[in-house]
């Protein structure tokens, strides 16, 4: 009923004002056009940095030598005749052509 009443009123309105073929205009829902503008707003981001000093141990070999002396029995050596000193005979230990200073 509302529709007919509206149509009737629209029809007579257009006929009086020179509307096209006596039809009512269809009004569509509005179209929105957005014209955006932007304003900066700083947001702080905190990045903590922790400096860590690490002390790493590097094992470096250092060699130490200890020295001891010991006396152990060796093998029996027999001198040959003519081996050097008097009593041993021949040149060599302390004899002619032996060590400087002669003798042991």
How confident is the model over 22-33, as pLDDT tens digits? Answer: 789 999 999 999
Q: Are 93 and 83 in contact (CB under 8 A)?
A: yes
pLDDT digits (tens, 9 = 90+) for 2-16: 444 444 455 545 445
* Residue % of the chain over a pLDDT of 90: 49
pLDDT of the residue at 91 = 52
Per the model's pLDDT, the better-predicted residue between 62 and 19 turns out to be 62
What is the structure's pLDDT at 20? 59
Query: Above 70 in pLDDT, residue 89?
Result: no
Select from 19, 46, 45, 42 the least CA-distant residue to 9: 19
Q: Scanning the structure block, which residue is given the tokens 């009086």?
A: 16
């Amino acid at each position: 009923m509302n529709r007919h009443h509206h149509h009737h009123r629209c029809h007579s309105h257009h006929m009086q004002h020179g509307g096209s073929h006596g039809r009512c205009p269809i009004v569509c829902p509005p179209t929105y056009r957005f014209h955006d503008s932007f304003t900066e707003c700083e947001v702080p981001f905190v990045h903590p940095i922790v400096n860590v000093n690490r002390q790493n141990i590097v094992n470096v070999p250092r060699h130490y030598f200890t020295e001891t002396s010991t006396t152990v029995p060796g093998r029996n050596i027999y001198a040959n005749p003519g081996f050097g000193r008097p009593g041993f005979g021949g040149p060599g230990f302390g004899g002619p052509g032996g060590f400087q200073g002669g003798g042991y």
